[in-house]
Amino acid sequence: MTTEYDLAGRKAIVTGAAKGIGHAVAERFLKSGAKVDIWDRDGKALAAAAEELSKLGPVHPCVLDVAHGHEVEGAVDDAVDHWGGIDILVTCAGVLGQVCPTPDYPEDEWHRIIEIHLTGTFLCARAASRHMLEQGYGRIVTLSSDSGKEGTPNMPAYSAAKAGIIGLTRGMAREFATRGVTVNAISPTIIDTEMGREAAKDFGEKALSRIPMKRYGQPEEIAAMIAWLCSEEASFTSGTIFDATGGRSHY
């Protein structure tokens, strides 16, 4: 027996679901009885993920860029039409971006990273929360990072965007507090995904030395935490940043 989360009948949107953490979340959700709208901007990777994930339960793929408001609005409408509502949103879409000293950091890269992470999270939450507030129930989980707490050298945009997600999460949580919608963030350190391994090339040894568990996290570990936060039972926790850093984070 393993732990089973009760998401029976819940309708979820998971962004960045083709790979990595998002994929693991979609998998755990399906195993927990949810119906999952899987979003990604990489159509080929998403099609492959959809084929695989559909063996576990009902999925509905949507190719879009979360940094574009009109695409997000359309995709949320589409998800609501398809499933008959929306109960859960998990925003995993993200890229590492350029790793480069701040004096040389390109302006367009700054805008690109902020748009994908911070603007993208806002746009998805704005569109999904309308439906959640109307029905008086919802679970939103955003993906921050220990970069957003500590700040990562040579990653000014990523660090700022991830810190911004913490502020956004807290603000929405308090705004929605009496209306049945919780908003929480996860703050992982390097996770063993394609993106995490890319980060490990630049920060690996130093990062590992700072992780008391002396290993990187697995996407399934993040997915388990998110599944608990998205269950009905996670009802008195909102506006919080759940840490998943193997003991690294200070707060």
Partner 1 sequence: MNRIDLAGRVALVTGGAQGIGLAIAERLLRSGAAVTVWDANEARLTKAGKVLTRLGPCETATVDVTDPRAVEASIAALVETRDTLHILVNNAGIMGKVAPTLDQSDADWTTAVDVLLHGTFWCSRAALPPMLAAGWGRIVNIASISGKEGTPNMPAYSAAKAGVIGLTKSMGRELGESGISVNCITPAAIETDLIRNTSPEHHKYMLSNIPMGRFGQVEEIASLAAWLCSEDCSYTTGGVFDASGARSSY
Active site residues per annotation = 158
Nearest Cα to 200, choosing from 213, 191, 187? 191
34 near partner 1, judged by CB under 8 A: no
* 29 is a contact residue toward partner 1 (CB under 8 A): no
Cα–Cα distances in angstroms (integers) from residue 7 to residues 2, 161, 221, in the given order: 15, 30, 17
Q: Is 221 in the site for partner 1 (CB under 8 A)?
A: yes
3 binds partner 1 (CB under 8 A): yes
**105 or 228: whose CB is closer to partner 1?**
228
Cα separation of 91 and 89, whole Å? 6
52, 123, 170, 204: which one binds partner 1 (CB under 8 A):
170
Given 1, 104, 107, 108, the residue binding partner 1 (CB under 8 A): 1
- Which ranges in 136-189 belong to alpha helices (H)? 146-150, 156-175
- C-alpha distances (whole Å) from 36 to each of 42, 47, 104, 210, 214 are 17, 14, 41, 35, 33
Amino acid letter, residue 155: M
Number of neighbours of residue 104 by Cβ within 10 angstroms: 8
Q: Does 222 bind partner 1 (CB under 8 A)?
A: yes
3-class SS letters over 27-73:
HHHHHCCCEEEEEECCHHHHHHHHHHHCCCCCEEEEECCCCCHHHHH
- By beta-carbon proximity to partner 1, the closer residue of 60 and 139 is 139
Q: How near is the Cβ of 236 to partner 1 at its closest, in Å?
A: 4
Q: How far is the CB of 166 from partner 1 (least distance, A)?
A: 9
Q: Does 213 bind partner 1 (CB under 8 A)?
A: yes
The residues pairing with 187 across neighbouring beta strands, listed in sequence order, are 243
Name the residue nearer to partner 1 (CB basis): 142 or 238: 238
Question: Does 206 interact with partner 1 (rule: CB under 8 A)?
Answer: no
Nearer to partner 1, 2 or 108 (CB): 2
Residues that bind partner 1 (CB under 8 A): 1-6, 170, 173-174, 177-178, 182, 188, 211-214, 217-218, 221-222, 224-225, 228, 231, 233-240, 242-247, 249-251
